Amino acid sequence: DLSGSITTPDVKLNLGGEFIKESSATTFLRQRGYGWLLEVEDDDPEDNKPLLEELDIDLKDIYYKIRCVLMPMPSLGFNRQVVRDNPDFWGPLAVVLFFSMISLYGQFKVVSWIITIWIFGSLTIFLLARVLGGEVAYGQVLGVIGYSLLPLIVIAPVLLVVGSFEVVSTLIKLFGVFWAAYSAASLLVGEEFKTKKPLLIYPIFLLYIYFLSLYTGV
């Protein structure tokens, strides 16, 4: 007959200069090669990013692009090509959603229709630009068309005030459409189109007329 006792070795861990005694279960697992079950991974710094950074949303960049679209005159000194050369998705989407919410006095069904027109209207402009020989990506067209809805948003409260004056209201609508179309065309229609510029400017102009009609209900 064999008799005796087995004592657990007193194993200690050095954590930050302090010795902590391991439990019997921890020691048992380590002795039999299962210590990896007790390992704890270090926190990944990638998991601690702010939400805006995680979603790739740069508010300063969006604000700068909004100013570039609302003030398209070259004399103001804005680098307007950043709207085309550095496209983003969240800024144009926010502009399109805001325009959708104020259109047709907040009827919710028009929101999905305006987003659809934005996506497929931009696709049409993109395909036409590529056929005419332009070097532009669909993401760039999507961003420019979306941001350039801002002039129509600016004139929306003015139309509520002068809506009873048909002549003034019509002039403001024309001004808003020309403003939006000029902002978009000046970014999308480059020198590579040469004599073909009107073939791309015209559908851009028609697209913003249609956007305005969705707002006014004409």
CA dist., res. 108 & res. 110, Å (int):
5
- Would you put residue 4 in left (φ > 0), alpha (ψ -120 to 50) or beta? left
* Segment 2-52, tens digit of pLDDT: 665 555 455 444 544 444 455 666 676 667 666 655 565 555 555 566 666
How many structural domains is the chain composed of? 1
Q: What pLDDT was estimated at residue 19?
A: 46
Residue 204 within a domain = yes
pLDDT tens sequence across 81-112: 788 877 788 888 888 888 887 775 545 567 77
DSSP string, 155-199: HHHHHHHSTT-HHHHHHHHHHHHHHHHHHHHHHH--GGGGGGHHH
Amino acid residing at 152? L
In a domain, 66, yes or no: yes
The whole-angstrom separation of Cα 144 and Cα 198 is: 18
For 70, the domain range is 59-216
Number of C-beta neighbours around residue 83 at 10 A: 30
φ/ψ (deg, to 5) at 13: -110, 140
Verdict on whether the full-model pTM lies above 0.75: no
Helices 150-161 and 59-70 pack at an angle, to 10 degrees, of 60
Residue with tokens 């791309």: 200
* pLDDT value of position 218: 45
- Is 199 contained in some domain? yes
What's the whole-number average pLDDT of the chain?
A: 77
More confident residue, 173 or 9: 173
Is residue 64 within 8 A of residue 82, CB to CB? The reply is: yes
- Would you say 69 and 96 are in contact if contact means Cβ atoms under 8 Å apart? no
Residue 44 lies in a domain: no
Asked if 185 contacts 80 with a C-beta cutoff of 8 angstroms, the reply is: no
pLDDT at residue number 71 = 82
The pLDDT, as a whole number, for residue 58 is 78
**Residue 163 in domain:** yes
Tokens 């325009």 identify what position?
99
Which of residues 82 and 182 earns the better pLDDT score?
182
Measured over the CA atoms of residue 16, residue 19, residue 25 and residue 30, the dihedral's sign is positive
